Amino acid sequence: MPCHVVLGGQWGDEGKGKIVDYLAAGAHAVVRFQGGANAGHTLVLGGRRLALHLVPSGIGHPGCLGVLGNGMVIDPVALLEEIASLEKLGLEVRGRLRVSSAAHVVLPCHVLQDRVEERRRGGSPVGTTGRGVGPAYADKAARQGVQMGIFLRPEGEARARLRETLERKRELLQALDPGVDFDVDAMLGPVLACREQVAPLVCDTTALLQDLLDEGRRILLEGAQGAMLDLDHGTYPYVTSSSCTSAGALVGSGVPPQEVAAVTGVVKAYATRVGNGPFPTELAGEEGDRLRQIGQEYGATTGRARRCGWFDAVAVRHAARVSGFTELAVTKLDVLDGFESLRVAVGYEQDGKKLRRMPVGAEDLERCRPEYVEFAGWRTSTQGCRSLLDLPGGARRYLDLLQEHAGIPVRIVSVGPDRDSTFRA
């Protein structure tokens, strides 16, 4: 059972990229299984910063394959730009990247549709990243999508298929908003121009992964976004359009459940959320600003300021149960170093009733008030710590508190952005 799933246990941006990079040492492949260029992972390898959106976070390990699985939606133009920017930094990417022929293509009309639909939502937008991911998934579910295998077809056939899709989308968008228009051929050009470079990457990745598992190779399945943004188990409708759970990891890669040996839930030592939707432990005032400043909580994909708050053990318990976390990786512990006192939400109160579990859907969660336990801060730097024993006693007790209330053992701790500032607990 050499397969290890790594997932976001909160609202995304937990530092999954960094933990995947840490766990990828010795792995044969790292597989993205959902989402698209709406993800943004930052890796810091020996002071060098890598910004990843589509390319899996194992790319920092020379022998490791990066697989974009069938569950993803992929903007081919964005993919080639990302590969070029990584190759400029001296990484060999192309030869190590495989793209599922069953993954769906994000077209420029999806990006346009994303913006038009957000505009039409008026005062309550979802807060999407505007990368066309939601509309591409909607087309997939409506059986109107185009799969990456299109780039393996003869040019004329690919052109005709893509043109037909763009023409249909143009009609649809004009019905939504008569002010929206685009030139189909102008939009088609850059997509078809990707064909020659994308085609060699496209293959049957499900077969590839099954062969690797048969050979006993270790593979990592890398989640994007996080449990509270999951389409089915998150705070609908303020969610992403794919499944960020371990079940989603299987669907989006073609790996069967009995191959999974471990599921790591990555959580920050506090909580953040980008975009709209309920966030019970949000800190609106100065403390929130302080967390944002120290934690540098600005989106890697959009640059947007993240909403910040205290660790919510109710939300993490929910994530852990749905995905079967076997361990937690706690990141950004160092961000709390200077705080005099900390809080952890261990339950909610909703209309006078005490809740231990997250209610379903955004409206009910909006009415929940967190019940906190207070904790005295350790007021000492953890940045140079490289083992549990190096940590100040207060930081160790804080980790104990998190694992007690989350119900899952903390096995990995991160105290800085660099690969080296991660250790096993």
Q: Which residues of the chain form contacts with ligand GDP (CB under 6 A)? A: 8, 13-18, 40-42, 44, 300, 331-332, 334-335, 414-417
| Torsion angle in degrees (nearest 10) through CA of 259, 230, 29, 198 | 130
Tell me the residue length of the chain.
425
Provide the minimum distance between the beta carbon of 399 and ligand GDP in the complex, in angstroms, as a whole number. 13
Strands, E assignment, 102-258:
104-105, 202-203, 219-222
Provide the minimum distance between the beta carbon of 16 and ligand GDP in the complex, in angstroms, as a whole number. 4
Number of Cβ within 10 Å of residue 232's Cβ equals 13
Q: Which is nearer to ligand GDP, 40 or 60 (CB)?
A: 40
Q: How far apart, in Å, do the first and last CA atoms of the chain sit? A: 23
Provide the minimum distance between the beta carbon of 160 and ligand GDP in the complex, in angstroms, as a whole number. 38
Q: Which is nearer to ligand GDP, 299 or 347 (CB)?
A: 299
Among 330, 333, 305, 303, CA closest to 316: 330
143 contacts 86 by C-beta, under 8 angstroms: no
Secondary structure letter of residue 358 according to DSSP: P
71 contacts 253 by C-beta, under 8 angstroms: yes
Residue 192 is inside which H or E element, if any?
Answer: helix 184-192
Active-site residue flag, 41: yes
Provide the minimum distance between the beta carbon of 296 and ligand GDP in the complex, in angstroms, as a whole number. 6
Provide the minimum distance between the beta carbon of 272 and ligand GDP in the complex, in angstroms, as a whole number. 9
Q: Which is nearer to ligand GDP, 174 or 293 (CB)?
A: 293
| Rounded-to-integer distance, Cα 312 and Cα 315, Å | 6
Q: Which is nearer to ligand GDP, 370 or 417 (CB)?
A: 417
Answer left, alpha or beta for residue 135, where phi above 0 means left and psi between -120 and 50 means alpha.
Answer: alpha
Q: Which is nearer to ligand GDP, 266 or 344 (CB)?
A: 266
| Rounded-to-integer distance, Cα 281 and Cα 369, Å | 8
292 contacts 270 by C-beta, under 8 angstroms: no
Provide the minimum distance between the beta carbon of 82 and ligand GDP in the complex, in angstroms, as a whole number. 14
Provide the minimum distance between the beta carbon of 227 and ligand GDP in the complex, in angstroms, as a whole number. 12
| Rounded-to-integer distance, Cα 54 and Cα 75, Å | 9
Tell me the CB-side half-sphere exposure of residue 423, using CA atoms within 13 A. 14
Q: Which is nearer to ligand GDP, 319 or 415 (CB)?
A: 415
Question: 3-class DSSP state for residue 364?
Answer: helix
What's CA 178's distance to the chain center, in Å? 34
Q: Which is nearer to ligand GDP, 50 or 198 (CB)?
A: 50
Active-site residue flag, 13: yes
DSSP 79-96: HHHHHHHHHHTT---GGG
Sign of the four-CA dihedral 423, 41, 231, 76:
negative
Provide the minimum distance between the beta carbon of 383 and ligand GDP in the complex, in angstroms, as a whole number. 8
β-pairing verdict for 422-424 and 410-414: antiparallel
Tell me the CB-side half-sphere exposure of residue 66, using CA atoms within 13 A. 24
| Rounded-to-integer distance, Cα 391 and Cα 399, Å | 10
Q: Which is nearer to ligand GDP, 174 or 380 (CB)?
A: 380
Task: For residue 49, list its beta bridge partners.
Answer: 44
Question: Could you say which of 4, 21, 28, 41 is catalytic?
Answer: 41
Residues with catalytic roles: 13, 41
